[in-house]
Chains A and B, each alone.
Chain A
Amino acid sequence: MFIEFLFDYLTLCIVHICGIIIWVMYMYYLFISNKPIDMTTFELTLNSVIEDEFDFVVYDAYSGHIETGFSISTFLKHQLTLINSDLGQSIKILGTPKLDDLSMYLLKHILKMNSPYHSLADAITISLIQNDEATKQLFLHYFDHVNKELIDSILSFVEHGSNVLLVSKLLYIHRNTMNQRISKFTDITNLDMRDVEHNQLVYLYRLLKDNTNLF
């Protein structure tokens, strides 16, 4: 039961704690500012306000990313304005499950967006509203590496309110099969379907895919 719980919750990177193998869901928080960031003070500040450990990677004077084994999205959503005010800087952050072309592309776009923190789904939505063709193309290919049966099951899952029982009935599969598919999807994409931001991302993908002709 415990192992099942761990597998259910954690994916991707393996760490060893007391001999038990735990999968950890990594999240990347890409940051950028239009003025040079005092990286030392920024890292120190994050160390003081984020209670767990994280990796801090600097790209250049203006940008970099924070790598965590846990989600700090809610924290950033509420506290980034405060951190910016303490630092006297205007840093914007994009929360993303992987460091891919789409995320790197959107990093520059979030500079122009109003809120300091954006999830990947938020940033994609705003870019699509702005008719950004590059975002549309990159996002349409976001799940190209996931096999068709798996992505179709996941799209059905989000379409039906993320209800495993309901969707397994609709697809005529056992609920454990559906749970396994969700876990497999998480393994491949680093998207945890219980995370609202990740769920929104897949839902948005479904909407875009079904309505590409409208864009």
Chain B
Amino acid sequence: MAQLSLKHIDKIYDNNVQAVFDFNLEIQDKEFIVFVGPSGCGKSTTLRMIAGLEEITAGTLEIDGVFMNETAPKDRDIAMVFQSYALYPHMTVYDNMAFGLKIRKLPKDEIDRRVREAAKILEIEEYLERKPKALSGGQRQRVALGRAIVRNAKVFLMDEPLSNLDAKLRVQMRAEIIKLHERMGATTIYVTHDQTEAMTMADRIVVMKDGYIQQIGSPKEIYNSPANIFVASFVGSPAMNFIKGSIKGKTFVYGNNVLEVPEMFYDCLKDYDGKEVILGVRPEDLHCESIVSETYPNMKVDFTVDVAELTGHELIIHGNTEGQAIVGKVSARNEISNHQNIKLYMDGSKIHFFNVETEMRID
């Protein structure tokens, strides 16, 4: 398998539009990396540059220490899985899987061995003689994966492979891809705009926006220590709440509400006394329970409920505090109704502070 090294990669199109800016990333052997970000953030462009389908304007791409910028896509030993089931409609499953190897002129025995081995891994042995139209969406996507597996490539690139599937099947295929990665151990780069896919599948996530890397980290790091407001708001559903206020001594003041800043933030906020900052708190870190109110009695938020949505075991409460809209996620055991005034308590160990101007995390 393979290690990838991307150093100072830029992509500038002929019309001077820059799609990717100074992209730096070291990918370890067998790692599962997910590029995530909104449409147009440069994630697919980066993937296509790794595949060799787009020219690299500046910077270097190395696979296992070998300079790859000028190498033709076919010589990069990379297999790609695309959006939409991407199969030849008139060929059988077997022929679809074998086709890439046939045009590389591999011996028939070898092709047969690889196709049957991949079919076994993907549990599609009984469908080998069927044509794609006789398969379900999930089965077709497995065949598409099979086409990549038979290549025995060093690196797997997956460009939103589940985005055309319905929600239920997507969850199922997500698990299958994780299992497949564990079994094969291939270095994999997976592009998605779906933060749930990123969080559930990745060893490390690369969050991108407007062509720039915003943060690289494990799903836990990205969730618990977002580097800036964009990452904080992009990951998590419902998104993190942001409350604008200012630091006054050891307190955070917004409107008439005063919160006591937990001791762990004293050091990093010492330069912000009297200045505006943004406090970030995830909906699930707002609580009604007495255990939190007893631990953080001075982290009280007066909350006016606009709408309370019952999702089953949870209650999503939309409302505002001091005129700033926030969302809370509390246990459905709490009796909360629309237009009610309640008190919520922030878990002081889970709050974040961001610089108003740079929008970067303060720590």
Contact = CB atoms under 8 A, between A and B. Distances in A.
B86 interface: yes
Interface string A86-127: 111110000000000000000000001000000000000000
A162 B69 CA distance: 49
B100 interface: yes
Interface residues of B, number: 25
Interface stretch (A17-25, A45-53, A148-156, A194-202): A45-53
Contacts of B53: 84, 90
A86 B14 CA distance: 27
Contacts of B102: 48
Interface in B78-132: 79-80, 82, 84, 86-88, 90-91, 99-100, 102-103
B55 A86 contact: no
Interface in B31-81: 52-55, 72-76, 79-80
Contact of A88 (B72, B84, B88): B72
Contact of A89 (B14, B54, B55, B74): B74
Nearest to A51: B90
B13 interface: yes
Contacts of A79: 86, 88
A45 B103 contact: yes
B52 A90 contact: yes
B45 to A, nearest CB: 9
Interface string A27-59: 000000011001001001100110100000000
A89 B72 contact: yes
B74 A130 contact: no
A88 B99 contact: no
B358 interface: no
B15 A88 contact: no
Interface string A2-29: 0000000000000000000000000000
A35 B71 CA distance: 10
Nearest to A79: B88
Contact of B82 (A82, A89, A130): A82
A85 B100 contact: yes
A48 B13 contact: no
Given A35-B72, A85-B82, A112 B99 contact: no
Contacts of B103: 41, 44-45, 48, 86-87
Nearest to B96: A82
A87 B87 CA distance: 14
A68 interface: no
Nearest to A116: B53
Interface string A48-85: 11010000000000000000000000000011011011
A207 B135 CA distance: 43
Nearest to A75: B89
B102 to A, nearest CB: 8
Interface of A: 34-35, 38, 41, 44-45, 48-49, 51, 78-79, 81-82, 84-90, 112, 130
Given A49-B88, A81-B86, 6 more contacts: A35-B72, A44-B103, A51-B90, A79-B86, A84-B73, A90-B73
The 6 A-B pairs of least Cβ separation, nearest first, read: A88-B74, A90-B53, A88-B73, A86-B100, A82-B86, A85-B80
17 contacts: A35-B72, A41-B103, A45-B103, A48-B102, A51-B90, A81-B86, A82-B82, A82-B87, A85-B79, A86-B99, A87-B74, A88-B74, A88-B75, A88-B76, A89-B72, A90-B52, A130-B15
